Amino acid sequence: MRLVSTRDASAAQHSYTDVLLSGLAPDGGLYTPEEYPKVTLDELRALKGASYETVAFVIKQKLVGDAIPSVELRSLVDSTYIEPAFANEKGQVTPVTDVGRNLKLQNLSLGPTASFKDMAMQLLGREMDYELARRKDSLTILGATSGDTGSAAEAAFKGLGSVELFMLSPEVGMSAFQRAQMGALSGGNIRNISIRGRFDDCQDLVKAVKQDSEFAALGAVNSINWGRISSQVPYYFSGYLQAVKEVGEEVDFVVPSGNFGNVFSGYVAKRMGLPIRRLVVATNENNVLSRLMQTGVYAQKEAVITSSPSMDISKASNYERLAFDLFGRDATKLSAYMHEFNTTGLVSFLDHGLSVEAFLALGFESGSSTHEERIRTIQDIYKDTGIVIDPHTADGVCVAKKRDIQEVPVICLATALPVKFEETIREALGFVPERPARFVGLEEEMKQGSFITMDADVEALKSQLRA
Ligand SMILES: *Cc1c(COP(=O)(O)O)cnc(C)c1O
């Protein structure tokens, strides 16, 4: 199991652990498997009824190869998906629940910070710590968050002696709960920097700092890190195994999407042999991805702040990994395509020899929702099932309901708990969702000075990092 950069025509190979610690490839590309490993239907059958840890270990092992010995990997996985970090419901770490005819929810948000990002981040922290200890090394990480990545990363890295984490977040846009979560985790090896700007400004700052050779070795925890993508693949297997009667039947997944990380993991699962018929990419008003899939035109658009803020993006970093496959893994063609997008903010399939049918051929569909539609979806699901879903999950369910009734199980990924977005839930249902015990009194834990506030200024940020 080796990885290549999407922009490297020589296809030099890298190990899982090298890639884990580095983030973007030096040529600006993203690391992706040289070949997708395969899972047979017999192997899948053997996993039916298995614990989440077992499914996660079997799938991760295929994606890690011999870069981490099996015994070590097994113990990293086993120590990740257990209580108290992951509240285990009905014996499942990612339980699937029926919410309509052939419509199911897979809850991915039982981790410490109540979003699906914990699923990968908790394992990523352990894998990085393991590898850094083996190398007798340490790592400084600079990340950017629109809300959920920040707390998920901080919860995963808090207290690790091998890692120092700086997290940039926009001064406005995050929910009060998200800000309080990060505030409560600050201190020690965790530093929060609040940027006077948008999420895109934070992301641009991270890129700009890393272009300076002095800071080139900074690690990454956003979803361009292959460690995160690979740790999201197992829950597609777990969801599938819970949803089907017989292994071999097909299912659809609907995925609330922003940076295209989550749904790309689903695509990897499909390429590994999981019987997924369609991967439905659901976006909010920031519909860059759904327009791309419907028109073949990838056009950057300034993000607007919505009620599903973790999906408020102007471009989708992980799409490059899919585009690499769309171009038949031709790094030269892919580089030309991405270069045009990165310099002009707009690129069309027409000019690069592709057609929009290419998405469907790989199993992709897409749709989007508005704020009003999400509110109505939260109301409908609550009326029908008594379940309160969060606005990101509502985006996926709304897109699923706009399709005709399907003949196969449709699994909507529930990417956050509603408690993170109390204002929107109150708007929809007239009450705020009950808080799991671990979040009661969160705001009071927020210490004075838990955020340093700065302008979106590269030089100022560099000085802060040096200090
Ligand atoms: C991050 C996030 C998303 C978007 O996931 P991507 O991997 O960026 O597509 C969706 N919902 C929630 C709640 C998130 O935190």
pLDDT digits (tens, 9 = 90+) for 160-203: 999 999 999 999 878 888 999 999 999 999 999 999 998 889 98
Report how far residue 244's alpha carbon sits from residue 462's, in angstroms, rounded to the nearest whole number.
51
Q: Is 64 among the domain residues?
A: no
**170 preceded by a cis bond (ω within 30 of 0):** no
- Whole-angstrom Cα distance, residue 169 to residue 174? 8
Number of structural domains the chain divides into: 1
Q: Which atom of ligand 1 is nearest to the CA of 265?
A: 7
- Report the DSSP beta bridge partners of residue 142: 166
Rounded-to-integer distance, Cα 4 and Cα 32, Å: 6
Tell whether 302 is covered by a domain: yes
Atom of ligand 1 nearest to the CA of 117: 15
Q: Could you report the per-residue pLDDT of 219-261, keeping only the tens digit for each?
A: 889 888 999 999 999 999 999 999 999 999 999 999 999 999 9
Ligand 1 pocket test target in 223, 311, 320 with most atoms within 8 Å of CB:
311
What are residue 191's DSSP bridge partners? 166
Determine the distance separating the centroid of ligand 1 and the alpha carbon of 11, expressed in angstroms: 30
Which residue minimizes the CA distance to atom 14 of ligand 1? 310
d(CA 411, CA 397): 9
- The per-residue pLDDT for range 308-322, each reduced to its tens digit, is 988 988 899 999 999
For residue 54, give the H/E element and its range. helix 52-64
Please tell me if the CB atom of residue 317 comes closer than 6 angstroms to any atom of ligand 1: no
Ligand 1 center to residue 260 CA distance, Å?
8
Is the pLDDT at 32 greater than 90, yes or no? yes
Identify the band that residue 80 occupies on the pLDDT scale cut at 50, 70 and 90.
very high
Distance 137 CA to ligand 1 centre (A): 31
Would you say residue 244 lies in a domain?
no
Give the CA distances from residue 158 to residues 72, 397, 466, in Å, rounded to whole numbers and listed in that order. Answer: 21, 33, 21
Catalytic residues: 117
Tokens representing 414 are: 């529930």
Q: Please state, as a whole number, how many other Cβ atoms lie within 10 Å of the Cβ of residue 232.
A: 24
How far CA 291 is from CA of 207, 301, 344, in Å, comes to 26, 11, 17
More confident residue, 406 or 369: 369
Question: Whole-prediction pTM value?
Answer: 0.96
Tell whether 188 is covered by a domain: no
Does 128 reside within a domain? Answer: no
143, pLDDT greater than 90: yes
**What CATH number did the domain enclosing 281 receive?**
3.40.50.1100
Here the tokens at position 136 are 């007798």
Q: Does 311 sit in the ligand 1 pocket, CB within 6 Å?
A: yes
- Tell whether 200 is covered by a domain: no
pLDDT of residue 377: 98
* CB of 115 closer than 6 angstroms to any ligand 1 atom: yes
How would you classify the pairing of strands 276-283 and 364-368?
parallel
Q: Is the peptide bond before 433 cis (omega within 30 degrees of 0)?
A: no
What pLDDT does residue 84 have? 81
Q: Is the CB of 265 under 6 A from ligand 1?
A: no
Is residue 273 assigned to a domain? yes
What is d(CA 2, CA 190) in angstroms, rounded to the nearest whole number?
32
Residue 275 predicted with pLDDT over 90 = yes
User: To the nearest whole number, what is the mean pLDDT of the chain?
Assistant: 94
Closest CA to 306 of 214, 398, 400, 403: 398
Q: Is residue 119 part of a domain?
A: no
Ligand 1 atom closest to the CA of 257, numbered from 1 = 9
Contact 413, 393 (CB under 8 A): yes
Domain residues for 379?
96-114+249-429
